[in-house]
Each structure stands twice: as structure tokens, then as C-alpha cells.
Amino acid sequence: MKTAIFYDDLFLKHDTGSYHPEIPERLTAIIKRLEEKNLLDKFIPLKKRFATKDELELVHHDSYIDYVQHLAQKGGGYLDGDTPISKYSYEAAKLAAGSGLEAIDEIQNGNIESAILLVRPPGHHSLKSRGMGFCLFNNIAIAARYALQKGFKKIAILDWDVHHGNGTQDEFYKDKNVLFISIHQFPFYPGTGAIDEIGEGEGKGYTLNVPMPRGSTDADYKKAFENKILPKIIEYEPEILLISAGFDAHKLDPLGGIELSTSMYEWMTDKITKLAKECCNGKIISFLEGGYSLKALAESLEAHSTVLLDS
């Protein structure tokens, strides 16, 4: 598949300080691994693009955007206890969000079929006017809103990060044009993502939460994919698939309590890629979210990349 990748050294300048799990080394570990395996050259590079303020406002309130900018300009601060901002965080966050927009444009222009966005800060916990859980701007939600603006009518978002994608769910809770599916450890941070959260109004039935108990394994996830997640996407017939690709459900992850192996990320990517080929000409954009074991993260990204490239 014609797969693009985006990465930039500016992401390393989002400084979360000592003792934070969401560190620049996460990205350098991934890049090093992809280089060692000669995978990096197989991707099409994606052009560097910062989201404009108007584009961030597709999801976020302008006063919140100004606040993030202000904190960065004064040298740093905290959005919540877990979510620090440093001098370059606003720029890095605009670049993370912008890469999703560039991927949508390149897919729509037919230059690529799929893309992997190796970005930080991550996005899926970020709410309209509040950053939380290491997330500043909701990269995947902004991309989905942008895609709707560009003429896509049906978008599916699959969030397989170990944490529930509360920010993304919130954004599309009343929206039938975006199917949001999250499989995550439950109960767990951020507390949302119960099975009875299914959407509201026009959006009722277009949110699917698949909560998994601590200790769930590859076999449990396979069952959930085969019985719930894949049929739901097939029934919806999306035009494009966006993945909130966190790798913190890996058994080596220090934050998550799920026991997935590296090969499970290969399995999930394979299933989703095959489905995307049928429903939407292979259109997939994968946004990096969590994943805090450097070893598990690098290995899982290698598996994820290989399947997308070879499909």
C-alpha cells in the first residue's frame, strides 16, 4: 500500500520533565527501530504542516487554544496534574494536529492510501476546552472534523489505546457521521467508556465502547474484534478509517493492565487493513497515542508499519 509517514524533531521539544512516562525517547525509540529494520525508506514522506488556529477551532474553543499558547509563551505550566506544557509544546501540538490534515488531503488527492503519524503530544483525551491525560489538542478529532468539511460523509474512528478516548467520544457523541469505537481497560483512567455509553440523539448507536477487564489477553481482544468491532465497522460502511493507535495495552506497558503481545498489534492492523481495503480503498490514518514501554512501543510500531506497507 502507498503508505506515508510523518515524524519531525520538533515533537522531541515537547518537554514533559523528569519522571513523566510520555517522553521524547518514545519517538526516538520508534524511529531507531524502523531505521534498523530498513522500513523508514519504504514510506512516502508527508509534508510538514502546522494546523492553523481556525483548524484547531474545528474541535477546540478559541479561549482554550489561547490558553495553551499563553502557557507555552510564558515558558510552561500545567493543564492538569498529568499534562505539562513547555516552551515548544504549542508548536509541537499544532504540528501533531496539522499532520492529520495533511494526511487527509494527500489521501483525498490520491497520492497516498494510508498514513502513520508518529506524533506527540497525543490527543484522544483532549476535550473541547480542556487538555488532560498528556493530551493538548485532539489530533484525531480535528482530522475527522476536517475530513467531514472536505466532503467525507462517513468516518470510522477505532481507538485501541488502553485508555478510553473520552475526548474523541465527547466530540462525536451526538454525531452519526463519525462512528467512534473504543476498546480499552475498564474500569481505568479516565473513568469513562462504559458499555452503556452509546451516543445520544442523532448519534445514538454510533458510539461503541468495548470495556475489557484488567488482565485481558490476545484471545479476549480477538473475540471482541471478531464479535463486536469488525461487524460494527462493516455495517457502518465508512469511507475512511482513523485509528487512535496507542500501544499501552501491551503486556510490557508500565501503565496499562492489559496483556497483549506484540503480534496482536500485527493481527489488529491486518484485520483493519483488510476491512479498509473492502470498505474504503484502504484509506487508513493511524495516529500515535500512548505506549510507555520503549521496547514494546518500538516493536509494536514495527509490526503495525510492516502490515500497512505490505498490504
Tell me the three cell numbers of residue 159: 481507538
**Cβ–Cβ < 8 Å for 127, 17:** no
Residue 236 forms beta bridges with which residues?
none
Comparing CA positions, the residue from 195, 194, 135, 196 lying closest to residue 168 is 135
Peptide bond into 45 cis (omega under 30): no
Q: Cα–Cα distance between 94 and 27 in angstroms, integer?
A: 17
Please pick, from the candidates 161, 171, 175, 302, the single residue that binds Zn ion as defined by CB under 5 A: 161
**Of 84 and 238, CB closest to Zn ion:** 84
Closest CB 251 distance from Zn ion, rounded Å = 15
With CB atoms as reference, the residue minimizing the distance to Zn ion is: 290
164 touching Zn ion, by CB under 5 A: no
Q: Cα–Cα distance between 217 and 68 in angstroms, integer?
A: 38
Helix axes 294-310, 25-36, angle to 10 degrees: 50
211 touching Zn ion, by CB under 5 A: no
Q: Cα–Cα distance between 184 and 31 in angstroms, integer?
A: 26
Please identify, among the stretches 10-18, 29-37, 107-115, 163-171, the one whose residues bind Zn ion according to the rule CB under 5 A. Answer: 163-171
Closest CB 260 distance from Zn ion, rounded Å = 13
Closest CB 184 distance from Zn ion, rounded Å = 8
Q: How many CA atoms lie within 13 A of 253 on its CB side?
A: 30
What string marks each residue from 241 to 260 as x (binds Zn ion by CB under 5 A) or -? -----x-x------------
290 touching Zn ion, by CB under 5 A: yes
125 in catalytic set: yes
Tell me the three cell numbers of residue 309: 506497507
125 touching Zn ion, by CB under 5 A: no
Please pick, from the candidates 94, 125, 163, 250, the single residue that binds Zn ion as defined by CB under 5 A: 163
**Of 102 and 253, CB closest to Zn ion:** 253
Interacting residues toward Zn ion by CB under 5 A? 161, 163, 246, 248, 290
- Residues forming the active site: 125
